[in-house]
Amino acid sequence: MLIQAHTPVYAVIGDPVAHSLSPIMHNRALAARGLPGVYVGFHVTDLPAAIAGIRALGVRGVSVTLPHKVVVIPLLDEIDETARAIGAVNTIVNDAGVLKGTNTDGAGALKALATVTDVTGRRTAILGAGGAARAVARALSKAGAKVALFNRTAARAAALARQLDLEWAPLTNLAQWGPEILINATPVGMMPDTAALPVNADVLDPTMVVMDIVYSPLETPLLAAARLRGCTTVDGAHMLVFQGAAQFERWTGVAAPVAVMRQAVIEALSPASGPSS
């Protein structure tokens, strides 16, 4: 690709950011659609300066990752209702110098689940009480799922449930609640601790749909245990790709090549490509 002075620039900002698969995924998507543009990673420790740079340099679109998703909000010009309700921004659209924040994590999770099931009316247990759990819980609740939050620290689950008007329970009550869909929205099972399970495998039932938002490793301990018990599983790469596809479409106005983006992520996560997270 010929990069020129007028080539649109897209980026991911975070601390750290070297591990991000977003440049691989989005550059492949831009090429597949024949669009000019380059997507890069910026290691950002001074967030206000970085946002000023995005504005001054005309960076077209930005993915926001940890630890900036919350603290970036007051630095932007507009925050949409989704991001405001979640309390975090993962996407910035630069609209002629006006920086608009949104969040595509919940939509990404919903589309990932839609590849195997309809969530409407389904009893859905979400493990965790952090930002990812908030985004996923809100999206599924709005889509008609019957959502309950479960967390090792019950007080955190209770606080988030009150904010979102959802059910909650201690993690020990998970089996008793009887979920049809189980979503791990915690980092348990992520590299390098690939032996950890967020719940006891005994709670897994063959009729369940089990999804993990962790994507490295691609088959987490939870998904491996669920597969062995006959559950339908959804890996974290699905959510990564679908939230990225939503970003791509906001930035370019062009339908995202979802299959191409997933293939890029799968290739990057394969053992032959080296370590990723």
Residue pLDDT, tens place only, 69-96: 999 999 999 999 999 999 999 999 999 9
What is the largest distance, in Å, between two alpha-carbon atoms of the chain? 60
Q: What is the pLDDT of residues 251-275, one digit of tens each?
A: 999 999 999 999 999 999 987 544 3
Residues 6-21, mean pLDDT to the nearest whole number: 96
- Higher local confidence (pLDDT), 268 or 3: 268
Q: What CA–CA distance (Å, rounded) separates 164 from 161?
A: 5
The tokens describing 211, both together, are 């999804």
Q: What is the pLDDT of residues 153-175, one digit of tens each?
A: 999 999 999 999 999 999 999 99
**Number of continuous H segments (helices) and E segments (strands) in the chain:** 10, 12
Domains and CATH numbers, the chain: 9-103+243-273 (3.40.50.10860), 107-234 (3.40.50.720)
Q: What is the pLDDT of residues 92-142, one digit of tens each?
A: 999 999 999 999 999 999 999 999 999 999 999 999 999 899 999 999 999
Q: What is the pLDDT of residues 178-204, one digit of tens each?
A: 999 999 999 998 877 778 899 999 999
What amino acid positions are annotated as catalytic residues? 69
Planar angle of CA 162, 103, 249, nearest 5 degrees: 150
What backbone phi and psi angles, to 5 degrees, belong to 192? -95, 0
Q: What CA–CA distance (Å, rounded) separates 108 from 121?
A: 19
Q: What CA–CA distance (Å, rounded) separates 80 from 96?
A: 17
Q: To the nearest whole number, what is the mean pLDDT of the chain?
A: 94
Q: What CA–CA distance (Å, rounded) separates 72 from 259?
A: 31
Q: What is the pLDDT of residue 274?
A: 43
Residues 138-153, mean pLDDT to the nearest whole number: 96
End-to-end CA distance of the chain: 27
Query: Cβ(125)–Cβ(150) under 8 Å?
Result: yes
Q: What CA–CA distance (Å, rounded) separates 205 from 209?
A: 9
Q: What is the pLDDT of residue 224?
A: 97
259, containing H or E segment: helix 258-269
Share of the chain above pLDDT 90, in %: 91
How far are the Cα atoms of 23, 101, 105, 184 from residue 89, in angstroms, in the given order? Answer: 18, 6, 9, 21
Query: Cβ(198)–Cβ(189) under 8 Å?
Result: yes
Q: What CA–CA distance (Å, rounded) separates 183 from 105?
A: 14
Query: Cβ(134)–Cβ(88) under 8 Å?
Result: yes
